[in-house]
Amino acid sequence: MTSCPSGVTSYITSTGDTMCCDGDVVGDKCNGTNICSLSPNTGSGIQSCSEWMTREWKKRSDRFCSSNMPHYFGKWQRGSGNKEGCSASIPTMDGSEPYQPTEPQCKIYQSHDEEIANADSCYNIKALDNLVCPQANATKSIASYPVPGRTMPVILKCNYMPPSGKMPVDCMDDKSITEYLRKSGSSDKDISNWLKVCVAFCGASKAYYVDRTLTKPNAQCVNDMSYDAGSGGAKGATAGTGPVNKEFCEELRKGGIDLSSSNYAKTAEVCKSAK
């Protein structure tokens, strides 16, 4: 490595060593922290910049990156609007950009709300990579169900063939659907109950189609969701502005919810007017 990490100042000490300072440099002294050295064998105990970057970028890669985009890139000083993310490409020498900018990459956003709402966030890409579906050969994807006037989380999905082999089943990841429903105003108590019995959600889907430990899915759970969306409770939302919108209704159908059944009359009513 021949230059200091981006955002860090290089200077020459009184002994002729080239150091990298995170802070102001006055004369030949660092009024901050010496991050690393560009000179070999300084005797000061400061690690070389190549060693420092290898260790620091590995820590960041382990924290933020998925197996298919394993290389972190960004500036030494994180935040403050600085661009950072993960890429399938190794980073440039100073670590600030992917060496091959055309390789797949994701973005690290500044807030959790942004992270969960954007399909290109490294948070969601890594979550998708780590997602355990009801069957190992499932196809994973990220779906977005916009609600006018709100920033809604994306939902991670699995599409898999159950042991019966009759037809593929879609389900929505329990963690991401929980985030989505919370943003829609549903209570944690209701969400907890729905996760146990709604086969449109992956935990219950696995219990019903794979493990056969859920013998009778509860139709009322989807009806309750639809009612919350349609009435809005104390918030006064209208049909289609809560957790059940047009795309969400389609996911219920793919997950095995028969909206033509009398069991789901309330759901079908809300879905009919969903936007």
pLDDT number for residue 136: 94
Mean pLDDT for the stretch of residues 23-33: 90
Among positive and negative, which fits the CA dihedral 262, 267, 273, 275?
Answer: negative
Secondary structure letter of residue 177 according to DSSP = H
Taking the model in full, what pTM does it have? 0.75
For residues 197, 202, 206, 209, the Cα torsion angle rounded to the nearest 10 degrees is 80
What is the structure's pLDDT at 157?
Answer: 95
Angle at 125 (CA atoms; ends 157, 252), nearest 5 degrees: 15
193 to 6, 39, 220: CA distances (angstroms): 50, 61, 10
Average pLDDT, rounded, for the chain: 83
Tens of pLDDT, residue by residue over 104-120, are 999 999 999 999 999 99
pLDDT, mean of residues 55-59 = 95
Task: Give the start-to-end residue ranges of the domains of the chain.
Answer: 9-112, 132-273
Residue type, position 40, single letter: P
- Whole-angstrom distance, CA of residue 72 vs CA of residue 74: 7
Please state which of the ranges 66-75, 80-89, 141-150 shows the lowest mean pLDDT.
Answer: 141-150
Tell me the H-state helices in the chain: 49-64, 112-117, 122-130, 174-183, 188-197, 202-205, 219-231, 246-254, 265-273
- DSSP label of 149: T
Give the pLDDT score at 264.
64
Q: Provide, rounded to the nearest whole percent, the portion of the chain with pLDDT above 90.
A: 45
Residue 233 has pLDDT above 80, yes or no: no
SS3 state at 92: coil
Can you give the pLDDT at residue 185? 82
Query: Does 254 or 62 have the greater pLDDT score?
Result: 62
Evaluate if residue 168 carries a pLDDT over 80. Answer: yes
Average pLDDT of the residues in 79-95: 88
Is residue 234 scored above 50 in pLDDT? no
